[in-house]
Structure formats: C-alpha cells, structure tokens
C-alpha cells in the first residue's frame, strides 16, 4: 500500500501493468477465475518471475499453490493505475482518426468516456459522434473549464498540433495524447504521450529487411 508512495517504481513495471490488465480482463470475460504467473507470462510474453516481482512492488496478491484471483487482481491493478474510477476525455479533431477513437470500444471498458469533441471545420460542427456533438474549437476553453477534464487527445492535422496542445494545456488538461507525427512541447506538469503509427512501422521494418528468423515480440 504505502510502498508505491515511498518506493520508486521502475518505468517498465508501469508499462507492463496495462498489458497484464488487458489479458486479465479478457480471461475474466472467458469465465476464468484464477491464473498463474506462468500462464499469464505465456499470454503477455513476459517472464513469469518478472510478473511476480512486478506485482510485489504493490503488495502480495497471489495465493501460493493456486495463482492469482483474476477479479481481485483486475481491481488492484486498476486501482494502481487510477483506472478504478471514470475519466473524461476531450478529443480534438473529428476526422476519421478522431471518429475511430471516439467510437473505440476499449475506452469505455476501462472507464474512459469522451465527453467533448472539437473541430474547426464548420461542416462538422453539430454532427454527433456517438452521443457527443462536435463543438467549434473556440469553445474548447469554456467547455473544459465547465467539465472536469484532465485528459486530451490530439487527432488533428500536423500543422495544428502545437496550437491545440497549447490550448489544452492552458485549459487545465494534465495528460495529452498526441496522434500526430510532429513533436509538440508541453509545459511542466503535463504528461505527453506520442503515438505515431509510422514510427512503429519503420521500427518493425528494420527486422523485415534483416529477415532474421528470430521471433521478435
């Protein structure tokens, strides 16, 4: 309990927790109730000992001779990540990518709800995506102040990325997911996460040209 407050948690651990959670939720959906670190290791491609050690950073959740209770572990990981309560998202950009994000099933599953969508294309204003009507970009600040939104997603053309990011940060957003390939700057205290599909493609491309039979997961 207190360990996470005092002890420094390695970055890699925090990166793996969502992967564990993802698999655990799938297993729970299949009606499985317990899982061993060995089995979880197969499913996530993580060393079983590593999984056990990762979890001990936050306490001791398993039962020896049995494994981990999936429902309980899901709850614990969600609590660790802060995914045990709902989070509102603001989405900027109502194009194909924005629509894809807004309609993404997985978001709701983890308690994320897109509650505001912005675009500066007049033809898109008022259009409903899911249950949310697209608002003009000018209303961004007022809307975000009214609601309590701390997470923003940038899915606009590259040239608009920095401007949108600045406005989100100024409006109190604390986490920004950038889906454009440009590097944007954020003020201190704002967490930025970049997701560029092309960079991932280029990365895997290296191994394609090497054609090494070694599996790369």
Partner DNA sequence: TAACTTTGTAACTGCGCGTTACCATGTCTG
Partner DNA sequence: CAGACATGGTAACGCGCAGTTACAAAGTTA
Tell which positions 67-86 bind DNA, by CB under 7 A: 67-68
Size of the site for a copy of itself (CB under 8 A): 73
- C-alpha span between 190 and 35 (Å, rounded): 36
Is 14 or 86 the residue whose CB approaches DNA more closely?
Answer: 14
Q: How far is the CB of 143 from DNA (least distance, A)?
A: 37
Structural contact between residues 111 and 86, judged by C-beta atoms closer than 8 angstroms: yes
Which 135-194 positions form the footprint of a copy of itself (CB under 8 A)? 150-151, 157-158, 174-175, 177, 181-183, 188-189, 191-193
Q: Which does 23 bind (CB under 5 to 8 A by kind): DNA, a copy of itself, none?
A: a copy of itself
Which 1-60 positions form the footprint of DNA (CB under 7 A)? 8, 10-13, 15, 35-38, 46-50, 52-53, 55-56, 60
Which 75-94 positions form the footprint of a copy of itself (CB under 8 A)? 76, 79-83, 87
CA atoms within 13 A on the CB side of 143: 22
Is 198 or 217 the residue whose CB approaches DNA more closely?
Answer: 217
b or e along 92-102 (b: 16 or more beta carbons within 10 Å of the residue's beta carbon)? bbbeebbbebb
Q: Which does 6 bind (CB under 5 to 8 A by kind): DNA, a copy of itself, none?
A: none
Size of the site for DNA (CB under 7 A): 28
Q: How far is the CB of 104 from DNA (least distance, A)?
A: 27
Q: Beta 132-136 vs 151-154: how paired, if at all?
A: unpaired
Torsion of CA 97, 101, 106, 108, to 10 degrees: -170
Question: Cα(first)–Cα(last) distance of the chain, in Å?
Answer: 32
Q: What values do phi and psi take at 128, rounded to 5?
A: -95, 130
Q: Which does 192 bind (CB under 5 to 8 A by kind): a copy of itself, DNA, none?
A: a copy of itself
- Least Cα distance to 102 among 116, 90, 114 occurs for 114
Q: Which does 79 bind (CB under 5 to 8 A by kind): a copy of itself, DNA, none?
A: a copy of itself
Between helix 48-56 and helix 11-29 the angle, nearest 10°, is 110
Q: Which does 141 bind (CB under 5 to 8 A by kind): a copy of itself, DNA, none?
A: none
């Amino acid at each position: 309990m207190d360990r996470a407050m005092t002890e420094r948690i390695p970055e890699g651990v925090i990166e793996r927790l969502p992967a564990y959670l993802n698999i655990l939720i799938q297993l729970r959906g299949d009606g499985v109730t317990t899982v061993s670190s060995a089995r979880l290791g197969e499913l996530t491609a993580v060393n079983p000992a590593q999984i056990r050690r990762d979890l001990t950073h936050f306490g001791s959740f398993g039962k020896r001779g049995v494994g981990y209770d999936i429902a309980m572990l899901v709850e614990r990981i969600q609590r660790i990540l802060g995914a045990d309560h709902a989070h509102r998202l603001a989405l900027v950009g109502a194009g194909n990518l924005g629509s894809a994000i807004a309609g993404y099933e997985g978001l709701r599953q983890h308690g994320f709800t897109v509650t505001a969508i912005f675009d500066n294309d007049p033809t898109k204003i008022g259009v409903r995506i899911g249950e949310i009507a697209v608002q003009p970009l000018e209303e961004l600040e007022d809307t975000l102040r009214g609601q309590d939104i701390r997470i923003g997603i940038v899915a606009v053309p590259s040239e608009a990325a920095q401007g949108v990011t600045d406005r989100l940060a100024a409006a109190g957003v604390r986490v920004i997911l950038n889906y454009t390939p440009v590097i944007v700057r954020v003020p201190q205290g704002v967490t930025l996460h970049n997701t560029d599909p092309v960079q991932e493609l280029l990365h895997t491309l290296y191994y394609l040209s090497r054609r090494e039979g070694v599996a790369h997961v």
